[in-house]
Amino acid sequence: MSNSIYNQLINKEAKLAVIGLGYVGLPIALEFARKISVVGFDINQERVDMMKNNIDPSNELESSDFDNTEIVFTANQEDLADVNFYVVAVPTPIDDANLPNLRPLLGASATVGKVLKKGDYVVFESTVYPGCTEEDCIPVLETESGLKYKEDFMVGYSPERINPGDKVHTLQNVVKVVSGSDDHSLEEIAKTYELVVEAGVHRAPTIKVAEAAKIIENTQRDVNIALINELSIIFDKLKINTYDVLEAAGTKWNFLNFSPGLVGGHCIGVDPYYLTHKAKQAGYHTKIINSGRYVNDSMGFYIGKQTVKKILARGKHIQDAKVLVLGATFKEDVTDIRNSKVIDIISELKSFQVHVDLADPHASSKEMENEYGVGLIPEPTNDYDAVIVAVNHKEYKDLTETDLRAMMKDDLGVLVDVKGMYKGKIKNLEYWSL
């Protein structure tokens, strides 16, 4: 065998495994499986059984995406024994105190450590703070395997940039950052990823640089959205439409294109906490990043409160009010409800004893019930005092004022258009947007 893992992989003398087959892991596993032999490993047997039947449990891929692939899906650790290149793509959530929860990542590192052999490669893809791979994951690999990093096995880090629901920016057509333990391993890892990323790879000089690059991509987005959210609060007080202002300012070449809204999900609203945690350990207390998080995390409550004020301004008793919220997922056109901030709008309304109905064409009522204790109604009624369009799902874009009015109890109905989808189209309903 040559000492090139890349050559072994393309000659099918070695196998690649992806550990954790979620939004990130499954697409990359299937892409690799068009070129080389792949083992798809996940601890969740139910999900593995679905994938064996060409079903993506995350609802992002079609069953045809499983065609022409050489992949074995398994929840059995023994199936990893003859693998030489491991890609780890397990979740990196935060706990109730907004601190990194490394349990899945360290668990996956232990799984790999148990089967690690001399000459093997491990590439982490999960989003982490700079230093996590070398300080937290590699010691677990060493302890479990009894092998030495750099002498016996190599490690890399390659962050993922896929964007659920986005069919334009895909794994194949977005440049991927890669990094490795040294020049040789970097080259091997880069060539391996070049097999599947048509847009090519960016070779980062160190693992820490690659980790930091990913975490700032999402932190920058979070802070920028927070600024626009804050501006929208100011403009509301000044009675200026935020979207009108953004459209005008956007005509300047270097004005950045961000819009106000809820920041939920498991990336943008979570990743900055990994960086603030690491910064604190290093003796620096972050300010701008924390402020951004605070503003974005407050938006659901703010929207709820604004809705209450609008209903009161129509002369109604708030305790008798009935509100319909359209959209439950964390963003448009996906089924993912994790860390959805729509629930904050609902909590705020309920704290005023408002009756709230929630509908969503993409979300699962059972999952909403399990996660938040709020199920979905099958069909909206026609007696609402306010309708909040919280998520800009494609199903809502073409709703007319007549459609929206038909859901309202009377002519005093309030339309809360969180994403400004109906700007300029509403003439008679009381209209409010961020």
Ligand X SMILES: NC(=O)c1ccc[n+]([C@@H]2O[C@H](COP(=O)([O-])OP(=O)(O)OC[C@H]3O[C@@H](n4cnc5c(N)ncnc54)[C@H](O)[C@@H]3O)[C@@H](O)[C@H]2O)c1
Name the site residues for ligand X (rule: CB under 6 A): 19-25, 41-44, 47, 58, 89-92, 104, 107-108, 111, 125-127, 160, 162-164, 266-267
Query: Quick one: residue 131, left, alpha or beta (phi over 0 = left, psi -120 to 50 = alpha)?
Result: left
Judged by beta carbon, residue 141 or residue 231, the one nearer ligand X is 141
Closer of 47 and 278 to ligand X (Cβ)? 47
Cβ atoms within 10 A of the Cβ of 271, count?
23
Taking alpha carbons only, the member of 372, 355, 329, 376 closest to residue 164 is 329
User: Considering the complex, what minimum distance in angstroms separates the CB of residue 153 from ligand X?
Assistant: 18
Question: Which amino acid is it at 136?
Answer: D
State the residue for tokens 């003439």.
427
Q: Toward ligand X, which CB reaches closer, 51 or 321?
A: 51
Q: Which is nearer to ligand X, 58 or 84 (CB)?
A: 58
User: Is the Cβ of residue 108 or residue 246 nearer to ligand X in the bound state?
Assistant: 108
Q: Considering the complex, what minimum distance in angstroms separates the CB of residue 55 from ligand X?
A: 13
Tell me which of 21, 128, 197, 267 is the catalytic residue: 267
Task: Assess whether 132 carries a catalytic annotation.
Answer: no
In the complex, minimum distance from the CB of residue 240 to ligand X, in angstroms, rounded to a whole number? 34
Considering the complex, what minimum distance in angstroms separates the CB of residue 376 from ligand X? 21
> Other CB atoms closer than 10 Å to residue 64's CB: what's the count?
8
Residue 115 Cβ vs ligand X, minimum distance, rounded to whole Å? 12
- Active-site positions read 267
